[in-house]
Structure 1
Amino acid sequence: MRFETEERAVTSAEGRRREILAAAVRVIGAGGPDAITHRRVAAEAGVGLGSLTYYFESRDDLVREAFRYYLQRSSELLIALETEIPPGSADDLVELIIEMTRREFMEPAMLRAEYEMILYAARDEVVSREFVAWERGLEARLGAILEALGAPRPIAAARTIIELVRGFELERLARPSDPIDDLRYRLSVVIGALVGKRQPAVASMSAAQIQIPKFARPRRGSREISRRTEPRRTNR
């Protein structure tokens, strides 16, 4: 009976710590790492201020642990999704990434925290080391899938896909109405090319269909136009 009581106490303590870290990630997602204070995180987590000082010695410790929590949670989500959507083909891999992205956007604050973490890593050596290690692990995991699908340079291919997804996520954070099908199309083209899957031919655009930005068009009567239209002089 005593051991069961101790186990419940440990589980309860760990659960409370995770709640605090999840709250800290939400605070970071809303206002960046500079928004982190023990008082604000305690209010977000719904716990007493003493709980934070018990688990985390300093504000920097809390920020770092919050980022570790985010990385752990992201890895757990990816592992779970690989079980749900085994990436046995290029199309499966596209759907796996799409579902991962869709679920991340179900909690925008958590997703924003990832990009706050990347910026924070530039000025915190501890976070930088852990983020780089996590990133390399993600590249290796995705690279193994791509290698099985026939990609000749799987790690380079994995980095390309990760950067593509990050670019889309940043765009969608700024424009939440952007359809996720846009990402599906981009991924289908890129992953297909990386693993050597034949893509459907795209009809070439006629000159009339190509829209030249106004700032790129030479002004009427400019020297550039006159050089193009002026008959070439020949020496007699």
Structure 2
Amino acid sequence: MTKPVETRQRIVGAVLRIIGEDGVAGVTNRRIAQEAGVSLGSITYHFATQQDLLRESMLHFVADETRRFAELARQNQAGCDDLEQVVEVVCQVGRATRADADRIAPYELYLNAGRDPELRAAAADCFAAYDKLASTVLASIGVEDADQVAGAVVAMVMGLKLRALSTGSDPEDLVDGLMAIAKALTR
């Protein structure tokens, strides 16, 4: 017998996969039940509305993403000695944000956060984790005002990732662009 917490996690995982494959419009209770391997009734038992489902999915993603990026920031707290190490961190980020259905879903959820004030705090937490990693790495290579620059760098990376996801281009291309910016910032 599946525990309620396990069932909720399976449902949320299914929602994220469905959103990544077909967008928020593809999220139906029947599809979730099939994807999660749970009964149709268990979805409405755990989530009263589809908005609750989307909110919980966003919060789940944010918690995972925040932990992942906080750990990357912690690992790089000692600093990067040169741009080669920065490139390695960027590659780690690129691998952590690969272009698959699970990574497309957050963009849909971020857009949904723009429509749902209750999701904005969760989205802000996630971006704060991104900013912390960017600030840590930028400061370690001598960028002045790294905290102020971090948000712009994160926005650029997110934009480049969105471009790669929407065009099918290689996400590794963003490394070249970031290297050029990092070199310019450290001159």
Bin the TM-score by the shorter chain.
0.7 to 0.9
- The residue that corresponds to 1:27 in the other structure is 18
Deviation of residue 126 (structure 1)?
Answer: 0.7
- The residue that corresponds to 2:119 in the other structure is 127
Q: Percent identity?
A: 28
**1:59 pairs with one of 50, 55, 59:** 50
127-136 or 85-94, larger mean C-alpha shift: 85-94
Deviation of residue 77 (structure 1)?
Answer: 2.7
Q: Distance in 2 between matches of 1:85 and 1:153?
A: 18
Number of residue pairs matched? Answer: 185
The within-5 A match list for 1:1-236 is 12-81=3-72, 88-89=79-80, 90-105=83-98, 108-176=100-168, 178-194=169-185, 196=186, 198=187
- The residue that corresponds to 1:229 in the other structure is none
Q: State the superposition RMSD in angstroms.
A: 2.6
Q: Distance in 1 between matches of 2:13 and 2:86?
A: 29
Alpha carbons 1:86, 1:92 under 8 Å: kept = no
Per-residue Cα deviation, 1:12-50 (whole angstroms, up to 9, x for no partner): 432332221111011111222232222221111111112
TM-score where L is the length of structure 2: 0.84
Change over 3 Å in CA distance of 1:132–1:58 after alignment to 2: same
Where structure 2 has 5 or more consecutive residues not aligned to the other structure, the ranges are none
Q: Distance in 2 between matches of 1:144 and 1:181?
A: 21
TM-score where L is the length of structure 1: 0.68
Q: Distance in 2 between matches of 1:186 and 1:87?
A: 24
**Greater relative contact order structure (CA < 8 Å, 6+ sep):** 2
Deviation of residue 74 (structure 1)?
Answer: 1.5
Q: Distance in 2 between matches of 1:131 and 1:115?
A: 10
- Name the one with the larger helix percent: 2
Q: Counterpart amino acid of 1:93? A: V
